[in-house]
Structure formats: structure tokens, C-alpha cells
Amino acid sequence: EFQGSQQLWIRVRRAEMVNEMIPESPGNLSFTKVSGNPQRISNSPFRGESSRKKSQGSPAKSQQLPDRFIPRRTEDPKDLSSFQQDKILGANSSNIVSCNDVETSPAKHDYRTALKNIILPPFSPKDKILNLTMQSTEISSPSSSPGRFSLCSPPGSPSSVSPARLGKKRAVRHIPKSPDKILDAPDIVDDYYLNLLDWSPSNILAVALGQSVFLWNATTGTTHKLVETVGVGNIITSLTWGTGNILAIGTHSAEIQLWDVAASSPTRTMRGHMSRVASMSWGSPSLLTTGSRDSMILQHDVRAEQHKIATLEGHRQEVCGLKWSPQFNQLSSGGNDNLLNIWEPRQNRARLTIERHCAAVKALAWCPFQHNILASGGGTADRKICLWNTSNGTCLNEVDTKSQVCAIEWSVHDKEFVSSHGFTHNQLILWKYMGCGRVQKVTELTGHQARVLHMVKSPDGTTVASAAADETLRFWRIFGSPTRSASKLKDEQACRSLLGTNCIR
């Protein structure tokens, strides 16, 4: 009996020695090879009955030691992340006791620190596996830790694009919301059907104020009066620049005057209409087309003594809009009878007659970069901008602007155009042309206190001048420039006086 108790004590002692060789960890299980068969060794010093019986049957074989040892992997990424987070938060790592590191000692701590400094790269707060920040929109850059990617921006996503590729992104053009300059224009006639503003290729702006025509040199800033009509109520009703220094002026008395601006003298006077001349357009250096309240369109050869060479009949009321195409192969005309006509040279009948608008058609503009594309705008009862393919008369698009359309100007540098409006918002709208008639509103420019009746484009194509019934001229630098970048234009806008107000007479 004593010998049996001694053998039982020896077996218990041997089990304790085996367990001391296995690292203590909750739920840690390993296998040892005894007599060629794997057996499960628990953390308890006593085994089950079945194991005890097998051990009694073969006491010699149970004395064999394990043939391999599986170490613990304490320096795994989770432990490292926890250690680094505690380090950032200012916690003392020597006071932290985890379930897997009960036997922490100063020697082990120094060993781990030395091993981390040798193997791991220098640590920064952005290297944490979960970088928690107060701002949810902040995304850590993948370049801050080589070989790692942010959880919220996987590789290949827009947020993981390299800075070099982001630098190639096209810069957004700065569009000022304030006018570049303001000029007073007293006594400008508040009449939707007239055309009282034009800008010459030599950078001289002509504006009709009552019965007078004033010229403003945009280069020097000087202003002088060119002409004043004779007779009570004989106001200027239209004007347009020709080749060189020639300026054509239409009057309420149905006269057409040609002036040499450099010499400040008239060259000739032409007649032919029965009522006021409300619209004019040059078809060539020697061909002038005029529209009148008598519903007639006349073609004038300004070199010939018998200047009237053709009469175009296609409207029933006043012709308030006339515009030749840049190639001078098509003429568009709009009238108070809500009609839009397309004419060809040496033809006395309209090739196309369009009745889509519901009000007077005054605003007409040909696209400078795509032939056969015409933009037209209707009056108060219509308020629409239509884009036409004049080769077949198809309406590509129709946009409701919610305001009376007074004028349209295309940009020569970008696929954009600007429209000026009257009732009820009195604003300018910049549009982006997307192709196939599709347009997108870019921005609205406000400042005029009355309807913006007239609008022209500068010779360099960067600025538009608008004249309104509030008796002001405003200059808007809204179109891009082919020679200056968007950043330079923004710097020039910041340095320039935005509201330098002068009187035009």
C-alpha cells in the first residue's frame, strides 16, 4: 500500500514537471508525442481516469519528454498596436498587466524595447492600425507609412492617388462675381428693341446716350463725344463697328450714317427705310445689313452710289435682331413678330423660318467654334434660350432662364457663352456648352438694378460690357484668356480696383 502511494506521488510529480515546461496561457493547449500516439495534456496536475490507467500500464513510456516545443507569439500586431496606443496616450507600459504577459519583468521589458527598435521602423501616430481622429472626413495619406494603407481609403481609390497625379488636375478658372469697372451712362434709352452698344477691334467702346454717341477708349480711359443728331426726338437707335475706324449709326429718322472715327467726320448718309433703324450687322467690309420698324431688311453696298442692292422680306413687325455668321455665309434675323429667319447671301427669301419663340427675338449669337450652331433668346413672354442647328433647322436644346433674354455673347477661348436678362432678375448668366446642344449654368452675375438691355465682348475675348436701364456700364472679366493662367487672372483681379466708377461723358 505504501509502495502504491509512492508510485502515485511519482506520477503526479512527473506531470507537474511536464506542465512547467509548457508556457502558462489561458486555454493554451499543446500536444506531446508519447509512445507514438499524440495525447492531450491539460493544465491540471491530475489527468482523467482513462489516462491514469494507460499510465499505470506502461510507466516507462510515460517518462519520455516532448520531442518539440511551440513557443508563444506575444509580439503579434495586436499586442504591438495595443502597446503603441498606450504609449501615445501616455500610459506607463510597465504598469500594464495583460492576460498573456503575467510574468512581466524589467529584463523582458528592456529586451522587447531593444528588439522593437532594431526590427520595427520609427513609430509615428499615423502608423497605428486604427487611427482614430476627431474629424471624420480626414483621411491619412498612404505615403506616410510605406507598405500600409488606410482602412478608409483602399489602394486604387481616389483618396490613395499620389500627389503627383493630383498635381496634374486642371486648375479651376477664377470667375469674379463683381464687375471689373463701372461707368455712368446717363440718358441711355430704356428700349428693348434697340442696339446701342458695340466694341471695336481697336479697343474703343461706342455707346449711344439719347441723341449722342460717345466713344470710350478702353486702353487710355479717355472719353469724347462723336456726334449728336439734329431734331427733337431723333435719338440714336442702333450702331455697329465696321472695318478699321468706320462706325455705322442708325437713327430714329430712318437715316444710316457712316463715320470715320479717326477723323471725327461723317463719310456718307444712306436712306431706304420708312421707320427707325433698330438693328445693323456687317456682312463684309463693304456690305451693311440693316433692319427697321418697317419690317424690312436692306442690304447696302457702302462703296456704291446706289447703295441699296437687296430687300429681304420675311418679317411682319420690327426687326430688332440681326447677326451675320463668322463665315459670312448665313444671316440670322429676329423680329417683334416672334419669328427667327435664316438667310443665305444673294437670296431674297428666308431659307428657314422658325416660330418656336413666344416673344420678340432680339438676342442672336453664332457659335465661333462650331459652324451652323446659333443661340437665340426670347423676350418677357418667352424667357427661353434655344440652340439651333441651322443646317436643318433642328432645335438642339431649349433652356428656360426665368427672365427676359436681351443679349447673348459666346467666348472665343472656352466653350461658354453669357446671356444678359431683363425682367425679372436683371442678371447675367454664364453657361458652359457641353456639346450637342447641352448647356450647364456656371454662375450668375448680379449688380444691375434694371434690365440689362445690351452686351458686347472685348477684342481680346476676356471681358464683356453690359449696359442697363439703370444708366450704368459694367465690365465683367469672366471669360478665360489664352495667354494668362487662371492663377494670374485671379491675382490681377485681386490687385485691380474693382469698383472704379467714372462717367462716360
pLDDT tens, residue by residue, 473-492: 999 999 987 655 455 555 44
Q: How far apart are CA 353 and CA 295, in angstroms?
A: 15
Q: Which residues of the chain have pLDDT under 70?
A: 1-104, 120-171, 482-505
Report pLDDT for 487: 52
Q: How far apart are CA 190 and CA 192, in angstroms?
A: 7
Residue appearing with cell numbers 477684342: 459
Report pLDDT for 428: 97
Our CA angle for 239, 428, 366, nearest 5°, is 55
Q: How far apart are the first and last CA of the chain?
A: 134
Which residues on adjacent β-strands are paired with residue 334? 321, 340
Report pLDDT for 115: 78
Q: How far apart are CA 323 and CA 158, in angstroms?
A: 47
Report pLDDT for 155: 43
Phi, then psi, of 92 in degrees rounded to 5:
-85, 110
* 386 Cα distance to chain centroid: 23
Q: How many CA within 13 A on the CB side of residue 80?
A: 16
Report pLDDT for 94: 45
